[in-house]
Amino acid sequence: MAQEVDGLWLEQFVEPQLLEDFRNYIDDFIGVLKRPNPSAIDKDGIRFNRLINNVGFHVNKNSDFVAKSMSGKKTLVEYDKLDTDPTECTDAELRAMAFDKEAAIRVEHTNSWKIGVRDYVLHKLAPSKNSDKMPVMVTTGEKVDGRKRLTYKDLVNFYNKLMKLNLNDMNGWYMVLCDEHVADLILDRASTNNNRDIVIDPKTGKLVRFYKIQFFENNDCPYYNNAGNLKSLGSTPVETDQKASIFFYAPNTVYHIEGVEVLKTDRKTDTRSKDPKNEMRLHSYGLCDKKQEHGFGAIVSANAA
């Protein structure tokens, strides 16, 4: 096979897209996240009010009722700044190009922005660690490649934990499966009698649902360390870190992008460089968060050691 070297051909009639960029752009799960009420959007973030339910219920009450006020809590979810790294492009690079390199750079920035937002959203939806309202469970299957596989029994046990959370909207249960767990469930489904409970789309081959849980698939998912804690976004995983599949209850989510700006300098104003250059990057404000710490979860591959 021919070897790649740094640089781009300047001769004409060279196909710039002959070598494709094999990156995972899948971000379809973002489409089911809840958008905020427009009236709640502020320049600093999204404002939320939540009433604290203190309504009691009685049977054969033998005394007079006493009215109580219902208090509430307010929160402001602040925006995060979402940016791509700047890319420079010189006049010398553009003179003999057979394709619009500037346009191609803008496309690559858009792709990188989408990937970055996808990873950002998945980490915001993932619980930081196990709790009663946000369960993080480890797999128990056979050992393979330093981890334990996800089994049908694991999925049933996790489902049981979710049932106890009283998540009433049956259409709001979603899970983003990592690539390893997709393979585990396909294998388990093929080798047992559980073939009716895990639904697979015969046209696409994608896992669709498990009872109330609707599935998405993604190769890139958050990692947890051996202690069961979520790894920080962008950190390099070590040998004992494992991928997780992330569950979220859509009504308890919020997602909003305030706008994406293209920041760009003009080569025509570069009076100093021998090869005048311009720079560009994408800049935006946005947020994704949990409206309350309830109704999220993760299944993490247990270490095989």
48 near 33, Cβ under 8 Å? no
Q: Residue range 103-108: average pLDDT?
A: 82
Q: Has residue 20 got a pLDDT over 60?
A: no
What pLDDT is stored for residue 45 in this prediction?
Answer: 87
Domain for residue 49, yes or no? yes
Q: Has residue 302 got a pLDDT over 80?
A: yes
Domain for residue 272, yes or no? yes
Q: Has residue 11 got a pLDDT over 50?
A: no
Torsion of CA 250, 28, 259, 73, to 10 degrees: 10
- Residues 50-94 have pLDDT tens digits of 677 778 777 757 888 788 887 877 777 789 999 999 998 887 766
Domain for residue 41, yes or no? yes
What pLDDT is stored for residue 229 in this prediction?
Answer: 97
Domain for residue 218, yes or no? yes
Q: Is the four-CA dihedral 288, 291, 297, 303 of positive or negative sign?
A: positive
Q: Say how far apart CA 140 and CA 203 lie, in whole Å.
A: 31
Q: Has residue 15 got a pLDDT over 50?
A: no
Give the structural domain span for 42.
23-53+69-305
CATH of the domain at 103: 3.90.1690
Q: Say how far apart CA 108 and CA 126 lie, in whole Å.
A: 27
For the question of whether the overall pTM of this predicted structure is more than 0.85, the answer is: no
More confident residue, 22 or 268: 268
Tell me the pLDDT band of 13, cut-offs 50, 70 and 90.
Answer: very low
- Residues 242-301 have pLDDT tens digits of 999 999 999 999 999 988 888 888 888 888 888 888 888 899 999 999 998 999 999 999
Q: Which residues, 6+ apart, have CB-to-CB distance to 283 below 8 Å? A: 81, 82, 83, 260, 261, 263
As beta bridge partners, residue 89 has: 278
Q: Which residues, 6+ apart, have CB-to-CB distance to 148 below 8 Å? A: 138, 139, 140, 141, 142, 301, 302, 303, 304
Tokens 């998405």 belong to which residue?
216
Q: Is 81 exposed, middle or buried (0-12, 13-18, 19+ CB in 10 A)?
A: exposed
110 near 257, Cβ under 8 Å? no
- Residues 137-193 have pLDDT tens digits of 999 999 999 999 999 999 999 999 999 999 999 999 999 999 999 999 988 877 666
Domain for residue 61, yes or no? no
Tokens 């922005």 belong to which residue?
113
- Residues 195-215 have pLDDT tens digits of 568 888 889 889 999 999 999
Q: Has residue 16 got a pLDDT over 50?
A: no
Domain for residue 185, yes or no? yes
Tokens read off for 63? 């005394």
Q: Has residue 95 got a pLDDT over 70?
A: no
Query: Total structural domains in the chain?
Result: 1
Over the Cα atoms of the chain, what is R_g?
A: 25
Domain for residue 11, yes or no? no
Q: Smallest Cα–Cα separation from 24: which of 153, 146, 118?
A: 118
Q: Say how far apart CA 294 and CA 133 lie, in whole Å.
A: 5
Q: Say how far apart CA 305 and CA 292 lie, in whole Å.
A: 35
Domain for residue 290, yes or no? yes
What pLDDT is stored for residue 155 in this prediction?
Answer: 94
